[in-house]
């Protein structure tokens, strides 16, 4: 049986969930946006189904909620960025800025 959910409600729920974990509001918003976006665009492998995996990683301390990215090495055309055990979703805007 196929079920449909209101994407805004799912987005809001995911955002509330990540804020409850302790993510900053802006980071929780970024995670919620990317997770719902990927599901809405048919990329289920990076959508809601990832929540249980992320939960296990957070509970085990494998994801640092407050880590900040660091540029380890940079050239004119590339950069190596250490996300320091942080989810990449909240850091996509940072990664986008350094790539331009």
Entry pTM: 0.77
**pLDDT computed for residue 32 by the predictor:** 93
Q: How many helices (H) and strands (E) does the chain have?
A: 4, 2
The CATH architecture assigned to 7-99 reads Orthogonal Bundle (1.10)
- Per DSSP, 4 falls in state -
Q: CB 35: neighbour CB atoms within 10 A? A: 24
pLDDT tens digits for range 50-87: 999 999 999 999 988 888 888 899 888 888 888 777 77
């Amino acid at each position: 049986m196929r079920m449909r959910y209101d994407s805004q409600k799912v987005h809001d729920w995911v955002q509330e969930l990540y804020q409850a974990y302790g993510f900053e509001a802006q980071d929780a918003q970024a995670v919620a946006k990317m997770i719902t976006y990927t599901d809405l665009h048919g990329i289920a492998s990076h959508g809601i189904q990832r929540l249980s995996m992320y939960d296990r990683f957070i509970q085990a301390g494998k994801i640092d909620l407050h880590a900040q990215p660091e540029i380890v090495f940079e050239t004119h055309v590339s950069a190596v960025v250490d996300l320091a055990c942080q989810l990449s979703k909240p850091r996509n805007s940072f990664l986008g800025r350094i790539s331009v």
